[in-house]
């Protein structure tokens, strides 16, 4: 029997995404965003607040990157979520992380995170329920150490952080338990 919990954000897992953009002076700002998802073959939707410094930056530059946070950089990723660039202009510098300019968009790639999507601003969707930044993914890059023998990202090697909205903890990805579009195939024959 299930127990009523009231209104709970009961979606698990949630990604831990590092959204990065330059300001008008070329200063890097990064934020931690859990409310994001792929919304088309080459689109990512980020449900983030318009007031964030990173949001304001990407609206001006019309470009940003989205990286997967990993176990090795959990402290920095969490810091990017609790510190605000609106009040802490040296937020990125405090981490000691390294940013390089993307060759594909006018946005920084944070070297420490193993997988990055380089995006152009495609759309802003705003209504009374949400504010959404939609990016067109123009390139995805990954460290060779997280690739399998076929050149695809291996989630077990990435050790991507996932956010638990129930208790506000971080977990990591890793264990493969089945193959998509295959695990339920036996039920098709019934």
Instruction: Give this prediction's pTM.
Output: 0.95
Tokens at 131, concatenated: 């504010």
**pLDDT given at position 173:** 86
Q: 16-53 burial by CB neighbour count: b if 16+ within 10 A, else e?
A: bbbbbbbbeeebbbbbbbbbbeeeeeeebbbebeeebb
Q: Is 80 exceeded by the pLDDT of residue 190?
A: no
Q: Map out the domains of the chain with their CATH numbers.
A: 14-189 (2.30.110.10)
Question: What's the CA dihedral at 58, 59, 60, 61 to 10 degrees?
Answer: 40
Report the alpha-carbon angle 92-33-174, nearest 5: 100
Distances (CA, A) of 77 to 82, 124, 154, 184: 9, 25, 21, 35
Q: Is 90 exceeded by the pLDDT of residue 112?
A: yes
């Amino acid at each position: 029997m299930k127990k009523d919990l009231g209104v709970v954000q009961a979606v698990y897992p949630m990604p831990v995404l590092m959204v990065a953009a330059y300001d008008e002076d070329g200063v890097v700002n990064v934020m931690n965003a859990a409310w994001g998802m792929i919304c088309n073959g080459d689109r990512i939707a980020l449900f983030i607040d318009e007031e964030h410094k990173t949001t304001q930056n990407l609206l001006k530059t019309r470009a940003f990157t989205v990286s997967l946070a990993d176990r090795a950089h959990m402290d920095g990723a969490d810091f990017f979520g609790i510190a605000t660039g609106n009040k802490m202009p040296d937020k990125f510098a405090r981490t000691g992380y390294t940013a390089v300019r993307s060759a594909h968009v006018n946005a920084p790639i944070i070297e420490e995170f193993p997988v990055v999507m380089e995006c152009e601003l495609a759309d802003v969707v705003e209504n009374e329920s949400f504010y959404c930044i939609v990016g067109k993914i123009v390139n995805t890059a990954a460290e060779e150490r997280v690739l399998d023998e076929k050149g695809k990202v291996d989630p077990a090697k990435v050790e991507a952080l996932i956010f638990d909205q129930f208790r506000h903890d971080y977990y990591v990805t890793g264990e493969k338990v089945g193959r998509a579009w295959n695990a339920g195939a036996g039920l098709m024959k019934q």
